[in-house]
Structure 1
Amino acid sequence: MIKSILNIPVQIINSVAGFFQKLAQATKRPMRSGVLTLKSLISAVVVALSVFVLFYFAQPFGIRENTALNKTLLISIASAAGFIGILISDYLLPFTFKKFFDSSQWTVIRQFSLFVLRFFFVGLLVMVFSNQVGLAKFDLPMVLLEFTGFGAVIGFIISFLQESTLRSKFSLKSEIINRNLQNFTPVESQKMLFPVMAFSGANEKLSLVPNQLVSVSISKYKSQLLYQNFFGLADKELDIQAEDVKKELQKHPQFIQISDHEYANAHALYKVTGDASGYELHIAKRSKPVRLSRKFEKTIESL
Structure 2
Amino acid sequence: MRKDFFLYLLILPGVLYFVLFKYVPMWGVLIAFQDYSPYLGFLHSPWVGFEHFERLFRGSDFAMLFRNTMMINLLSLVFFFPLPIIVSLSLNEIRREWFKRTIQSIIYLPHFLSWVIIVGISFLMLSKTSGVINELIAAAGGIKIDFLTEPRYFWWLLTLQTIWKEVGWGTVIFLAAIAGVDVQLYEAARMDGAGRLRQMWHVTLPAIRNVIVVLLILRIGHIMDVGFEQVYLMMNGAVSEVADVFDTYVYRSGIRQGQFSFSTAVGLFKSVVGLIFVIGANRLAKKFGEEGVY
Q: Same fold (TM over 0.5)?
A: no
TM-score by length of structure 2 reads 0.26
- Larger helix fraction of residues: 2
- Larger strand fraction of residues: 1
